[in-house]
A and B are shown apart, each in its own frame.
Chain A
């Protein structure tokens, strides 16, 4: 089962910041939070990941609360091409005990409107 909870859908106006929340209240100390997005009929695209510090790259910023039970992905200036399903994933151990398996939930469907 997915270990994260995200809103089913969100809307954002073009040019404004999109803030996508994610709850991961059962996250353990060595688990990372990953964000991916999937544009319709394409493979997922890696966005960003973090452990406990806030992270920023050319695509987005990731804000993780101090207790690590939730996080927010921020797209600072959303464009129409950011319309996609955004997945927040907590990395869990695979069958061999290695921390590599990704468990996918249903994500948040973000619609960026003109």
Chain B
């Protein structure tokens, strides 16, 4: 149980294009989803927290107009990196909490490796 998937697992795009990453909870309803990014040899940095049906809460320093988050259903959240640039190249990871268990344990997706050329 508590499986989270991400798609795509890897994407390479040209500078200036937009990239959408999907995060799905496969066997539970995710009341809250989190988006992180991780640079090589660094720890995870929380980008934003999103609750189903409401606007995401972004961490300080994260541009909400650049990293668009949509959490339209209890099983799907999307992160769109708009007008991507090489400095946006990173490992993007989502996590979700299972609202049905009464705990706040976060379960993570496998990550998406974004490379912007």
Contact = CB atoms under 8 A, between A and B. Distances in A.
Interface string B21-43: 00000000000101000000011
Interface of A: 2, 34, 36, 41-46, 49, 87, 91, 94-96, 99-107
B29 to A, nearest CB: 16
B104 A100 contact: yes
Contacts of A100: 32, 49, 97, 104
Interface of B: 2, 4, 6, 32, 34, 42-46, 49, 57, 91, 93, 95, 97, 104-111, 113
Nearest to B4: A43
Contacts of B97: 100
Given A46-B106, A100-B97, A102-B106, A41 B44 contact: no
B45, B57, B91, B108, most chain A CB atoms within 10 A: B108
A85 B95 CA distance: 18
A44 B93 contact: yes
Contacts of B110: 42-43
